[in-house]
Structure formats: structure tokens, C-alpha cells
Homo-oligomer: A and B are copies of this chain.
Amino acid sequence: MKKFMQLFAVAALISTTANAGWFGDDDKGADVTKDNTVYTLKLAETWPSNFPIFGDATKNFAKLANDMSGGRLVIKVDSKNKHKSALGIFDFVKSGQYDLGHSASYYWKGKDINTLFFTSMPFGMTTSEQHSWFEYGGGQELMDKVYSKHGMKSIIGGSTGNQMGGWFQKEINTVNDLQGLKMRIPGFAGEIMAEVGAKPTNIPAGELYTALDRGTIDALEWVGPSLDLRMGFHKVAPYYYTGWHEPSTELQFLINLEKYNSLPADLRSILITAMKLSAYEMYVQSEHESAKNWASMKKDFPNIKVKTFPKPVFDALRSANDKLLKELAAKNPLSKEIIESQANYLAKSRAWTAISDQSYLNSQSK
């Protein structure tokens, strides 16, 4: 990259004194905030107290906001243990009962179907692709369109990275192996699995380990090594399938717009910047924890078999996915707009990923 230094040999059109500031020497005193009021914002999160990674994101956000504002912006975080309603976040923030939330957009599809698209879609974008879509591909604008109707703004809240396909008791070699398969897989991915003949089941988190161990269910998906390790599934199921249904699960920060607009401009900027940085850093932390925990799982349970569905199984799942998306698009013009935006962006960004990261990784694989 020494290349850049010689790129433009431009004549000096302005002062050549290296120390002279080129905006002049005005100190911009007129713009300086004189407002030392303390603003306290209450945040409700979906997660239990001290939940790893997800809960670290809200702690990091609150600390950044406090530090950068010199104590003028105080964020009080209530976990699920406090507010008692993991899935109440949308209503809490919409009503103003809480000023902020930390949750996942796709939880709200029953309230507004168009919130479905801003977390992760089966066969969708990877983390870098989806972050690019949010920032430069129109994703944030579409999210604003959806959430402003509810008096809220949604900001990226941190990605888990690529989620694993889940833990299975037996191999999946054909579409037939999915028939009647009892699998804990919620949401839109569960609907896709139902389309191809599986039986998505709903089992409380605390009972999952036993259900998988005793055969009450045949398979389950959770997150990936970052959060699967502590659940212990690797001790009771031999097959760990690679992912397809949530290629980059992005959480969300929710903001009550009326409260947001009542803040001074500098605190609004601090609020959004602290959210975005803690979101990007949560992804980095997720990748770190996954790498660390996967190494530990493999060491203690060297017989875990990592598997990927064969192509005909993916073809069937993808057909079901396309059918369900087509139905959603037909029902709602804004759904159609979002689905098309994502499909177009994915096509373009995947062509680049293919010749960059994917090609590099493949060429260096043993």
C-alpha cells in the first residue's frame, strides 16, 4: 500500500506550513454545549441478568454512553429478571414505559410482519454482507420505515455470527430423513422445516438437554459454540450440523423516538455511536467465544462429528423458503420491497465474497 503515497503529486494550493490548521483558528466556542443536565434512560433487555455476550453488549453500551457523556447520559439496564417479560420489549419501548430496548427484531413478527427481516433470514447474508446492507444497501432506511410507524428506531445490536444448524441424534442424508423429525427450531426456520415434513416442537430452554438426551426430540438448534457449550448438548448428541437458517443473527437496540428527540444533539450522537460500537464489538466477542469454546468442545469430545446437509436437502429447504417468502411478498408491499432489497444485495455481495474471503479460505484449507 505504499502505492497511495505517490498517487497524486498535487501542487500546494494552500499554506505549506505543516503546523498551520487549515480550518483557521476559531475555537468554535458557539457550538459548545453548556447543558449539564443528567439524562437517565431506562433500557429493558430480553435476556436474564448477566447473560453472556448479549448482556455484555448492553453493559458495554451503558458504559460507553456514561464515559463519553461525562456522566450526563445514564443508562439503567433492566434484565428479564427485573421486568419479567422477555418478549415485552417492543411494547415497553413503544409505550414509553422504557426508553430503550435490547432484543431481536424477528420476535415482533406477530405485531408487524415486516420486523421479521432485520435479524437474519434463512439462506441469507453473512455478517459482513448484512452489515454492509444495513449501512450502505438501504437496510437501515427500510428498518426506519418499519419502526417509525411504531414511534421507534431500531439500531444494530450485535451479531452472533453464523449460527450452527444444530445438534442431531442421527445423520440427515436425504429429505426423507427429515420426515417426522422432532426438532426444536423456532420461528421462520421452523416453518420451513415444517414445509419439508419435519415436526418443529417448542420446549422450554431448561428442559432441552433432557429432551435431547432421552429422545423426546431428535434434534435442536441453539446458537453456536459461543453459547452452546454451557448447555451441554455436545455430551448427548453426536452430530453437529453446520448452519443455513441464521447466517448472521443481528440483535437490535430499540429507541423510543419521542424520548430520542427530546435529547440534546450531542447525547443523541453519543447514544447511537455507543450502540453501534457495542454491536460491532459483540460480533467480535461472539467470534472469539465461538473459537475458544469450539476448541474446548473438540478437546473434551473429540468424536463430535461436524456434518453439512447434502445438496438435495438444501434444495428442498430452499424451495420451501422461496415459497414462504413469495407468500409474504404477495401479502404486503413493504415485505416485498424488503425481500427484494435483500435478494438483490445478497446476489451482488456474495459474488464479491466468493472471490475474496471464500476463495481465500478454500485455497488455504488443508
Interface residues, chain A, with chain B CB atoms under 8 Å away = 1-10, 12-16, 18-19, 21-23, 27-34, 36, 38, 40, 42, 44, 46-49, 51, 54, 64, 67-72, 74, 76, 78, 80-84, 86-87, 92, 97, 104, 106-107, 119, 123, 126-129, 131-132, 135-137, 161-162, 164, 186-187, 204-206, 208, 222-225, 240, 242-244, 247, 249, 264-266, 269-270, 273-274, 276-277, 280-281, 283-285, 287-288, 290-292, 294-295, 298, 306, 308-309, 311, 314, 348-365
Q: Which of B8, B54, B78, B348 contacts A295 (CB 8 A)?
A: B348
Using A4-B51, A132-B291, A288-B349 as known contacts, list a sample of 5 further A-B pairs with CB atoms less than 8 Å apart, ordered by residue number in A. A13-B81, A128-B284, A132-B288, A273-B273, A358-B361
Known: A273-B68, A277-B276, A281-B135. A82 touches B18 (CB 8 A): yes
User: With contacts A128-B127, A292-B348, A294-B355 known, is A49 near B10, CB below 8 A?
Assistant: yes
Q: A34-B36, A76-B22, A206-B6 are in contact. Are A356 and B81 (CB under 8 A)?
A: no
Tell me, in angstroms, the Cα distance from A51 to B106 when the chains sit together. Answer: 39
**Taking the full assembly, how many copies of this chain does it contain?**
2
Query: Which of A137, A223, A287, A292 is packed against the most chain B CB atoms within 10 Å?
Result: A287
| Chain B residues with CB below 8 A from A240, complex form | 355
Docked-complex contact A29 and B38, CB < 8 angstroms: yes
* Residue from the list B6, B247, B273 in contact with A86, Cβ < 8 A: B6
If A32-B72, A277-B273, A308-B359 touch, whether A135 touches B354 (CB-CB below 8 Å) is: no
Contact of A364 among B10, B44, B106, B314 (CB under 8 A): B314
With A4-B86, A27-B38, A132-B291 as contacts: A356 and B67 at CB distance below 8 Å: no
- In contact, A284 and B242 (Cβ under 8 angstroms): no
